[in-house]
Amino acid sequence: MDKKHVYFFDAMRCVAALAVIIIHALGPYRHELGQIPMGEWVTAITFNGFSRWAVPVFILITGALMLNDTRPFDLKYYLSRRLGKVLTPFLVWSLFYAYLSGWTIEGFDGGTVKEVLAESYHHQTYYHLGFFYYFIPLYAAIPFLQIFVRKFDDAALYAFTGLWLLTTLLFLMRIDGPWSEQFWLYMGLLPLGYILYQKLPASRSVVIASVILGVGAMALSSYMVVQGSIEAERYYVGRWFSYKTLNTVLAASMIFIVCKAYADSLAPKVKKSSELYQSIQPWYLHSAPTVFVAYERARAASWSPYLHDPVLGCYQWWLSTGN
């Protein structure tokens, strides 16, 4: 893998991590329809709608890198170096947040910690960690997808991925069936990432088409959630903000294609800053300042989403990088 490709993935991790932080920073405003000015609520929803691509981008990156690995499969290496790299910090941070859940204004409650840990096999100890409950199982599919990519031609790969894309549309339209299984809907992002990386050229026409589709998908998603919530007189998303639907896949693909095409032309200082996000650790770290520092201060000061969302997002990003 050459130097351009290494930075290209670093840039995607950087922007995706920042988008995840923005999603979490504005979370409390989603349910305040009618309690805060309409313009502020719409701003919060729009920020959310234009950031939903962040989670799928991480899975696209994993697919692009893992399915491109042509080395013979080594189970011991795979479990220790590939799966272990994600699983070990996940377990450590899950324990940390379980312990943290026992602390309240009144003091420490060990019973709460035990309850949280008892449910941790199927429910995250802190909501930021929910991503890993559907990301980690994908490592069971990767070896089989690697075999698929090596044994079959591009036509089979495109057919498989095209079928998966169809099911993401069906899921968005609430046409449910066996294809609505969470594992399947997330798994398809792996071969899509490989296709975007290895098969799709980063030509000007491809970039333009991806931007039109991606921005259009994000705008439509935001509009549908705003309109649906106003009609329901409560926060209502349907499946428009799901990570498993075609609209979000189009937005994530746009980010992938744009970064692939233009990341290498960024200024050296910008490239240097994005190298801080070579690890997925900021995902675990940013929630601490969310809870204990920035969010409470912002809320206490009655900041509106116009300032709260971007400022708090950038502040958390800065803390998470360790600057």
> Which residue intervals of 30-153 are DSSP H helices?
38-49, 54-66, 75-77, 84-101, 110-118, 132-135, 142-151
pLDDT of the residue at 320 = 41
pLDDT of the residue at 273 = 62
pLDDT of the residue at 135 = 93
pLDDT of the residue at 25 = 81
pLDDT digits (tens, 9 = 90+) for 33-71: 989 999 999 999 999 999 999 999 999 999 999 999 989
| Helix, strand, or coil (residue 36) | strand
pLDDT of the residue at 317 = 45
> How many degrees, rounded to 5, is the angle at CA 85 between CA 81 and CA 89?
150
pLDDT of the residue at 270 = 66
Half-sphere exposure of 220 (CA within 13 A, CB side): 15
CB atoms within 10 A of CB 123: 12
Q: How far apart are alpha carbons 111 and 92 in whole angstroms?
A: 20
pLDDT of the residue at 14 = 87
Q: Show the low-confidence residues of the chain (pLDDT under 70).
A: 1-6, 267, 269-323
Token reading at 247? 């609209």
| Helix, strand, or coil (residue 103) | strand
Token reading at 36? 């805060």
